[in-house]
Amino acid sequence: MTTTEPTVAGMGPIILDHGVAFRVWAPHADAVSVIGDFNDWNPDATPMVGEDAGNWFVFVENASPGDQYKYAITRGDTTMQRIDPRVRQVTNSVGNGVVHDPCFDWQGDDFSMPNWNELVIYETHIGSFHRDGDGDVGTFDDYRKRFDHLRGLGVNALQIMPIAEFAGDLSWGYNPAHPYAIESAYGGPDGFKVFVREAHKAGFAIILDVVYNHFGPSDLDLWQFDGWNENEKGGIYFYNDHRSKTPWGDTRPDYGRGEVRSYIRDNAMMWLEDYHVDGLRYDMTLYIRSVDGSPHTEIPEGWGLTQWINREVHGFKPSAITIAEDLQNNDYLTKSDADGGAGFSTQWDARFVHPIRDVLTQPDDASRDMHKVIHAINHRYNGDAIQRVIYTESHDEVANGKARIPSEIDHADTDAWHAQKRSTLGIALVMTTPGIPMLFQGQEFLEDGWFQDHEELDWNQADDHTGIIRLTSKLIRLRKNIDGFTRGLTGNHVDIFHVNHGDKVVAFRRWLDGGPNDECVVIINFANRHFSQYEFGLPQSGTWQRRFSSDRKQWSDDFAGAASGDIVATDAPYDGQPFRASIELPPYTALIYSQSASASA
């Protein structure tokens, strides 16, 4: 039985006590009906009624959660079958929509997002992180089986690459075919809810990658959804002029159209409201705010859309973090909208990753430019280091012609001493530089090669590099100030007081408020030279405990374990500091010192 009553608010399938209501936007359709399991897929059985603003509505009394369905949309002499743009579940990207029951036992989930200055992000891909058994693609359930590894590592935020339904089962996720549906191969909407709930129990915030700069381009029922288009382009959900073109297809959404703006806004809010995620990372915002990345082709309504969504996100959940991938070093991305900014919490920092990768991967020490290191450490947006995410590996940086850091250093032998030492220097620099640090999956055990969605992480590498995992875990522990004597690493302040361009050594001070248990001094040797006595300045008198050395044998049998331990400041100015010390400094080594009564690490 079908009827147009009761009329209810909402779009897509709306589950009611005695059936399911359906509403869809199709302003150019001449007729729309819903077809599915509940009417034997008969296009004449359940006609929908036209409403204001181009919407169509019907209530189907005998429909229920789990039913498969589509819309039959007629325009002129053509009838098209389309998956609901707002459906939460599909059988697959070219299959049917499924009426999804939103009820779920969150078991009292009340997770609190860590303070942003204490975040350590782990960027990761569900399909390739871990595959249990013979599966061709990893699932949410598979991934949860490695939570113990991540807990041991110490990261506290998982940044998940896109999980909206995409074409096929293998993908990075940046080709969303059905933006509201959860990838069926990963486990669908219930699988993701369980994943988030259990991640919160394990202490992980969930930051989700969303793709609003384009949709598709394949398996895309949004394309010419109701049969209308201009210039043979995408129809109601897309620009139908030159603004449609993106590097990934001719499918840029029409940010100036109210219904499309609401479609994207509601999608962003869905992740927070219905799936309890703790933040969003927006893929390549440059192509939301411009046609081709140039300042001459700006899209003002794209900028306005990001402002609106960020206001809504932060209004609903003030602790939620929004991250822009823009990579143009634009301070306005992370300015408030009141100041004309886009209102993002933070952004990926190109002025860190690119120069630091260059310094780490140079084959000759003489080519390592300490000016690049200095600028990378000092850079920030709007005077706030937390407005940048810093990293040496991401999904983009280890693919598309670029490889993992160990492979870039020594492609022939990624376990060689040089590759181990300089790769771990990169991790140390990420964890000691002001900003929000991020690792890419497998970086903690020196995964080599490049990122591919059809290959699982090489967990044999984890077995081979347990020491490097411990090294990374130690750095994360210090970065989060778990033991209470490196609070400065969570701070906004840095002073690079020692730069030796000839010998390739840099030392800097980090602090939040200053004083014992806060101020940290980091010294890094970027060259293959061992110093038996290396002098540098110190800001305070007394004993400085060594909290970390990247040269310890417990990290790798190839390391020497030769660095100095605790040191005592000498009352003699140096490097513009009132005190100095002399240490043994091994090649390609990072050391961290702070003051307290604790024993050295």
**pLDDT tens, 84-108?**
999 999 999 999 999 999 999 999 9
DSSP string, 406-452: HHHH-SS-TTSHHHHHHHHHHHHHHHHSSSEEEEETTGGGT--S---
CA triplet 263, 268, 271: central angle to 5 degrees?
A: 125
Which is higher by pLDDT, 262 or 600?
262
Average model confidence (pLDDT) for the chain? 97
pLDDT at 575 over 50: yes
Please give the average per-residue pLDDT across 460-468, as a whole number: 97
* β-bridge partners, 523: 507, 591
pLDDT tens, position by position, 511-524: 999 999 999 999 99
Whether the predicted model's global pTM rises above the 0.85 cut:
yes
Mean pLDDT of 128-155: 95
Instruction: Kindly list the structural domains of the chain, giving each domain's residue range(s) and its CATH number in brackets, ordered by start.
Output: 12-82 (2.60.40.10), 117-480 (3.20.20.80), 487-594 (2.60.40.1180)
For residues 423 and 395, give the distance between their C-alpha atoms in angstroms, rounded to a whole number. Answer: 17
Q: Are 159 and 129 in contact (CB under 8 A)?
A: no
Burial 415-426 (b: 16+ CB within 10 A, else e): eebbbbbbbbbb
Rg over CA atoms, the chain: 27
What are 217's two structure tokens?
Answer: 């381009």
pLDDT at 82 over 90: yes
pLDDT of residue 60: 98
Cα distance between residue 295 and residue 301, in whole Å: 14
Tokens 């310094």 correspond to 359
Question: For 114, which DSSP code?
Answer: P
Residue pLDDT, tens place only, 171-210:
999 999 999 999 999 999 999 999 999 999 999 999 999 9
Instruction: Give strand pairing partners of 227.
Output: none
Check whether 325 has a pLDDT greater than 50: yes
Are 26 and 56 contacting, i.e. CB atoms less than 8 angstroms apart? yes
Q: Among residues of the chain, what percentage have pLDDT more than 90?
A: 97
- How far is the C-alpha of 378 from the C-alpha of 372, rounded, in Å? 10
The pLDDT, as a whole number, for residue 566 is 97
Q: Distance (Å, rounded) from C-alpha 353 to C-alpha 394?
A: 9
Rounded CA-CA distance 369/589 in Å is: 17
pLDDT of residue 598: 52
Separation between Cα atoms, residue 32 and residue 70, nearest integer Å? 10
pLDDT score recorded for residue 600 = 40
Residue 373 phi/psi, 5-degree rounding, is -65, -45
Tens-digit pLDDT profile for residues 103-133: 999 999 999 999 999 999 999 999 999 999 8
Average pLDDT estimate for 544-554: 98
| Three-class DSSP category at 149 | helix
Mean pLDDT of 228-254: 98
Q: Are 453 and 127 in contact (CB under 8 A)?
A: yes
Query: Mind giving me the DSSP string for 87-103?
Result: -SEESSTTS-EE-----
Give the active site residues.
Answer: 283, 325
Q: CA distances (Å), 344 to each of 49, 306, 310, 414, 438, in order?
A: 40, 8, 6, 37, 17
Split at pLDDT 50, 70, 90, the class of 134 is: confident
